[in-house]
């Protein structure tokens, strides 16, 4: 059954203060459920990165309330002692450039966070193999990031984001560096992941061709978050 994974109530963000203050996100109210894929659209500077980094407990909001999988994490201030713990346990991040650690091989890149969370080496390795196979790059386990193509790196980055069994995946233009065929297959993969594993996925994208693959579309205009009809 669907349950609420991300709940924003009047979440907002102002950078700076006084004359130089920038109101990057104006009181946003929305809820995202397990299994949903949500596109986050909007022009450059409209506030998309600010919004997903607040949801990812990286950027501290300036006000409102944020609840992740039923746990209130921000209510006019962080309500949890360690935001890193929430990130490690609940959230997977995928960035525009894959951000793999260059001096660790694929397996080590994927097992790093689970091991920090206390998962044993063998269990973490088994999971890494499983994920890479699921993502079609099972043969890259012992390769270094420099030996992978762009599409393969992005698949490994997706495997890494899934290694801690997150309830939420936040992706900032994950397909920007890929040609349209590979971009489409990465997006299809994310979509089936959401549906099969009940993960909520938010993807910042500028690519209109991807929109039919999303369940919902949110648009940020000048800091205002709006729900759009997905036709
Ligand atoms: N650390 C910061 N300090 C001050 N202002 C900031 C900071 N980060 C972002 N801003 C401002 O907040 C607004 C929203 O920025 P944000 O990066 O969230 O937009 P975006 O929609 O992600 O843009 P893009 O598509 O170009 O990445 C912009 O006016 C930006 O200049």
111-120 pLDDT, tens digit per residue, is 998 998 899 9
**Res 98: pLDDT:** 66
| pLDDT tens-digit readout, 131-166 | 899 888 999 999 999 999 988 898 899 899 888 889
Q: Which helix (H) or strand (E) holds 126?
A: helix 121-134
**Index of the ligand 1 atom closest to the CA of residue 220:** 21
First to last CA, the chain: 25
Burial 164-195 (b: 16+ CB within 10 A, else e): bebbbbbbbbbbeebeeebbbebbebbbebbe
**Res 56: pLDDT:** 94
Cβ contacts of 138-144, under 8 Å, gap ≥ 24:
140/106, 141/105, 141/106, 141/107, 142/105, 142/106, 142/107, 143/105, 143/106, 144/102, 144/105, 144/106
Q: Which helix (H) or strand (E) holds 200?
A: strand 200-204
For the segment 4-11, the average pLDDT, to the nearest whole number, is 97
Ligand 1 center to 14 CA (angstroms):
10
Establish whether residue 42 lines the binding site of ligand 1, counting it when its CB lies within 6 angstroms of any ligand atom: yes
**Res 231: pLDDT:** 60
Q: Where are the domains of the chain?
A: 4-228
Please report which confidence band the pLDDT of residue 206 belongs to, taking 50, 70 and 90 as the band edges.
confident
Please report which confidence band the pLDDT of residue 110 belongs to, taking 50, 70 and 90 as the band edges.
very high
Please report which confidence band the pLDDT of residue 178 belongs to, taking 50, 70 and 90 as the band edges.
confident
**Distances in whole angstroms, Cα of residue 213 to Cα of each of 84, 133, 170, 172:** 31, 23, 16, 16
**Res 179: pLDDT:** 76
pLDDT at 125 over 70: yes
CATH topology of domain 4-228: Rossmann fold (3.40.50)
CA-angle at 225, arms to 12 and 189, nearest 5°: 110
Q: CA-to-CA distance for 231 and 53, rounded, in angstroms?
A: 28
Nearest CA to ligand 1 atom 14: 47
Ligand 1 center to 49 CA (angstroms):
7
- Nearest-10 Cα torsion for 95, 37, 189, 126: 70
| pLDDT tens-digit readout, 51-86 | 999 999 999 999 999 999 999 999 999 999 899 989
pLDDT at 88 over 90: no
For the segment 103-125, the average pLDDT, to the nearest whole number, is 94
Say if residues 10 and 28 touch (Cβ distance below 8 Å). yes
pLDDT at 28 over 90: yes
Q: CA-to-CA distance for 211 and 38, rounded, in angstroms?
A: 9
Pocket test for ligand 1, best of 13, 19, 21, 48 (most atoms within 8 A of CB): 48
């Amino acid at each position: 059954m669907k349950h609420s994974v991300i709940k924003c109530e009047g979440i907002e963000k102002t950078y700076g203060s006084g004359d130089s203050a920038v109101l990057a996100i104006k009181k946003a109210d929305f809820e995202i459920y397990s299994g949903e894929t949500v596109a986050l659209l909007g022009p450059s500077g409209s506030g998309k990165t600010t919004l997903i980094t607040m949801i990812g407990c990286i950027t501290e909001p300036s006000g409102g309330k944020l609840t992740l999988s039923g746990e209130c994490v921000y209510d006019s201030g962080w309500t949890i002692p360690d935001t890193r713990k929430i990130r490690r346990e609940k959230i997977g991040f995928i960035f525009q450039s894959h951000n793999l650690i260059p001096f660790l091989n694929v397996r080590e890149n994927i097992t790093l966070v689970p091991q920090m969370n206390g998962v044993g080496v063998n269990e973490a390795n088994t999971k890494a193999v499983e994920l890479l196979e699921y993502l079609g790059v099972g043969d890259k386990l012992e390769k270094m990031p420099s030996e992978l193509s762009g599409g393969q790196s992005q698949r490994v980055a997706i495997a890494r984001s899934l290694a801690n069994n997150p309830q939420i995946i936040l992706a900032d233009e994950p397909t920007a560096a890929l040609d349209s065929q590979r971009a489409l297959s990465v997006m299809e993969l994310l979509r089936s992941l959401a549906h099969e594993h009940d993960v909520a996925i938010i993807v910042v994208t500028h690519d209109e061709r991807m929109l039919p693959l999303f369940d919902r579309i949110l648009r940020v205009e000048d800091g205002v978050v709006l729900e759009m009809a997905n036709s």
